[in-house]
Amino acid sequence: MNPPFLPFTRPSIDEETIAQVCAVLRSGWITSGPQVKAFEAELSAHCGGRPVRVFSSGTSTMEVALRLAGIGPGDEVITTPLSWVATANVILAVGARPVFVDVDPATRNIDLNRIEAAITPKTRALLPVDLAGLPVDRARLYALAERHGLRVIEDAAQSFGARWNGRPIGAEGDFASFSFHPNKNVTSIEGGALVLPADIDPALAERWRLQGVARSGFDGMEVDVPGGKFNLTDVAACVGRGQLKRLEEFTSRRRHLARTYFDTFDLDLGCDLPVMDWQNCNWHMFQIVLPQGIARPAFMQAMQERGIGTGVHYPAMHLFRLYRDLGYGPGMFPRAERIGAAIVTLPLFPAMVDADVERVCAAVRDSITTLKTQGPT
């Protein structure tokens, strides 16, 4: 009998959380309410007491952060081409232009050495991404931003639970945006959170979150900004609260599984492995870059046939039509293009056991060996 299919990720929702969700459903208050307030307070405590507001997605948090920072038409925002496309789409959504900078080949994050060459008089902000939960060097990032008078919106969608210099990501800095999508280390089904800097009024973030509305008294209502519909439900917040209690457990387990990958993986296959960071990274994903000559679709098909799920995170976004129409194209960011064309996400989630990692590594070895034997497809 074949072992069950192993997906590349699966959330771990405990029975206590499920029972609490049922209680919320029975309460009659299922949209934004007391669970949202409690979730925000707990997230604020995690982020060193800084103001935190929760949203319906990690995409909306970045868009609102850009608006709160006053970024709009005519402005430029520097970011990485190697991320989920939402990172650059939100820049377009506020009327600004994304300016891509190639990645560091080891960390796969934006290459901080290349940022200054991309800064122009129109540059207003830096929007770095912590790919796979590995933090961008915050000391160098903020030194750059201070030197040029730029805002920072940290796309920390993948790095909730990661640390920098011993402190949680989000505990210091400018804006920090988290995602609680089901494939993240902590989930609220769908959702996100925005950590706010001291110069931003949290009430303004709340108005951008929900149609610009400010209420007073029994019937007072005012609208001063064209806000969106980005509020989180109490059902989602309840799930997030249950997950947040287990953050350290989840992170510890992910770190152990990542170590098992490094101990087991066949280095002779020629794959590029991630940076071994046991102090800062939350090990949101374990990603390999396939060796030259191995076609990713064929590899993913071979893994699926062996009962292993894989993912692609992410193609280089400047090659999408939307960004080609803005003047970007092949050859402009060769590191991101090479990695984006060959990167594969392997299974990594807390419910896995060591034998699952060993099974994945065996399937990777078998799949690549077989594909090398077959030759180009």
For the chain, give me the number of helices (H) and strands (E)? 13, 13
Does the annotation mark 184 as catalytic?
yes
CA nearest to 116, candidates 95, 147, 85, 157 = 147
Q: What is the DSSP secondary-structure string of 359-374?
A: HHHHHHHHHHHHHHHH
Q: Confirm if 126 and 78 have CB atoms less than 8 A apart.
A: yes
Q: What percent of the chain has pLDDT over 70?
A: 99
Mean pLDDT of the chain: 97
* C-alpha angle 326-332-336 in degrees, rounded to nearest 5: 105
Spatial contact of 64 and 83, defined as CB atoms under 8 Å apart? no
The alpha carbon of residue 336 and the mean position of all alpha carbons in its chain are separated, in whole angstroms, by 17
Helix segments in 28-85, DSSP class H:
34-46, 58-68
- In sequence order, which residues have a C-beta less than 8 Å from that of residue 23 and are 6 or more positions away? none
pLDDT tens readout for residues 144-156? 999 999 999 999 9
CA 107, CA 104: separation in Å to the nearest integer? 6
pLDDT average, residue stretch 258-282 = 98
- Collapsing DSSP to helix, strand or coil, 374 comes out as helix
Q: Is the pLDDT of residue 376 over 90?
A: no
At 44-79, the pLDDT tens digits run: 999 999 999 999 999 999 999 999 999 999 999 999
**For position 377, what pLDDT does the model report?**
53
Q: Could you tell me if residue 132 is left (phi over 0), alpha (psi between -120 and 50 degrees) or otherwise beta?
A: left
Burial of 277 (0-12, 13-18, 19+ CB in 10 A): middle
pLDDT 10s digits, 308-341: 999 999 999 999 999 999 999 999 999 999 999 9
d(CA 58, CA 280): 21
pLDDT per position as a tens digit, 175-214: 999 999 999 999 999 999 999 999 999 999 999 999 999 9
Farthest CA pair distance, the chain? 74
Q: Is the peptide bond before 261 cis (omega within 30 degrees of 0)?
A: no
Residue 197 CB coordination number (10 Å): 17
DSSP 65: H
Report the pLDDT value the prediction gives residue 2, as an integer from 0 to 100: 83
Q: Which domains does the chain have, with CATH numbers?
A: 15-243 (3.40.640.10), 247-374 (3.90.1150.10)
Structure tokens at 5: 């299919």
The backbone region for 151, taken as left when phi is positive above 0, alpha when psi lies in -120 to 50, beta otherwise, is beta
pLDDT band at residue 350, thresholds of 50, 70 and 90?
Answer: very high
pLDDT, tens digit (0-9, with 9 covering 90-100), for 288-305: 999 999 999 999 999 999
